Amino acid sequence: MTDKKKIKELYRQTVQLMGIYQIKNLVNGKIYIGRSADLNGKINSERFQLKNNLHMNRELQADFNGLGQEKFSFEILDRLPPKQDPDHDSGGDLRTLEEMWLEKLQPFAAKGYHKKKP
């Protein structure tokens, strides 16, 4: 096995950090909440999207463009411990955890970048 193949195989076997993250506007306190099975990768992706004007949340993107990166923090709010069963799908667990954080922080209207579901 080549070194490159070994590295790829080790990466696939590495347990990724799963959980809930937040992007916070440090000027007005508004927050954006998200979930991911790979928190570090997702936070990097969110930063990349915002820096390149590609983020799906247009309001967050507009604030980021107007205020600049230094006025935003990227934080992990909660971690979901990995299950022992490698076939376990953690998607439902992540959605439930995200719903709990959305309920707790209420990131809607003046408090955040989410739209309240009817």
Structural domain contains residue 68? yes
Q: Is the pLDDT of residue 11 over 60?
A: no
Contact 94, 36 (CB under 8 A): yes
- pLDDT per position as a tens digit, 44-81: 999 999 999 999 999 999 999 999 999 999 999 999 88
- pLDDT per position as a tens digit, 85-111: 666 677 888 999 999 999 999 999 999
CA distance 109 to 107: 7
Which residues constitute the domain of residue 64?
Answer: 17-81+89-111
| pTM listed for this prediction | 0.83
Q: What's the total number of domains in the chain? A: 1
Contact 54, 111 (CB under 8 A): no
Structural domain contains residue 104? yes
